[in-house]
Amino acid sequence: MEKIRLSKYFTDCGIMSRRAAEEEIKKGRVTVNGHAAELGEKIDPELDEIIYNGKSVKPQTDSKVYVMLNKPRGIVCTASDEKGRDNVTDLCRDVKDRGGKTVRLYPVGRLDMDSDGLILLTNDGALANKLTHPRHSIPKIYHVTLKGKFTPDDLMILGESIELDGRATMPVKVTKVGETENGTVARFELFEGRNRQIRRMCEAHNVRILQLTRVAIGKIRLDKLEVGKWRYLNEKEIHYLKTV
C-alpha cells in the first residue's frame, strides 16, 4: 500500500485532526514499529504498527457519522481547549453511530467564539480534510447584522478585496437581506474563510458587527435547528459533501 503521512493516518482513523496528531507526535506519545515517531514521517497502514498512548491505532470499522450543530456564541470550535473553555464537542457527546456506539467527533473548520450558527462535525477524517483544504471551493454563507444603515453600494464596497496577513482576499459578495431597528442585515458569501475574515473586513471600514451567524455551507442549510442543538445529516446532504 502507498505510504501516507502519519498525521493523516490519525484523521483517517477518526482519532484526531492532523494538527492535533502533529502535536502528539512532537510530545513523543506516538511510536511506529517501536521507535518514536517523527514529524512528517510516512507509514504503510497495512504493514506498520502505530501505537498512541499505549494503544494500537487502527481504522474505525463503525459507521462514519456526520452531524450539523447550531453553535451558540461563547463556544469554541476545537476538539479540546487548553484554556478549558466549552467547545463544540461538548455539545455532541451523545452522538452515536448506527451500531449505537458513542463516537467522538471533530469540527470541520472553525467558527470563532463570538459567532454562532452552522458548524459540521464528523469522525470522517478524509472528508474533513477535503472540506477544509484551501483549494476547496464550497461557499460559506453568513448573515451579519451591521450597526447602521447601509445601501447596496455601501455593501458592495464592504466586500471588496483587502490585504490580510500580507495577502489579498478574494472579493466577497455582500447583499442586503433585512434591517433591524438600528442595523442592517447583510448576506456574506465567502469561498476562502480566512481567519476572522468578515470581522477584519468590517474593521477595515470601521463597521461594527452586532451579530455574525453562519447559515449555510454550500447546500447544507441551518434551517430551524435550535441554538445549541445538533442533528444527523441526511443521506442527500452527506452525498453532496462527498461529491461537491
DSSP 166: T
Dihedral of CA atoms 103, 108, 111, 113 in degrees, nearest 10, equals: 30
Q: Does 112 qualify as catalytic in the annotation?
A: yes
Residue found under cell 447601509: 150
Quote the cell numbers at residue 225: 435547528
Gyration radius of the chain over CA positions = 20
Catalytic, out of 112, 114, 154, 223 = 112
Axis-axis angle for helices 235-243, 125-132 (nearest 10): 60
Amino acid at 223: D
Report whether 64 contacts 122 (CB < 8 A): yes
Question: In the 8-state DSSP scheme, what is residue 114?
Answer: T
- The C-alpha atoms of residue 89 and residue 14 are separated, in whole angstroms, by 14
Half-sphere CA count of 115, side-chain side, radius 13 A: 22
Q: Tell me how crowded residue 132 is: count the other CB atoms within 10 A of its CB.
A: 16
Catalytic machinery residues: 112
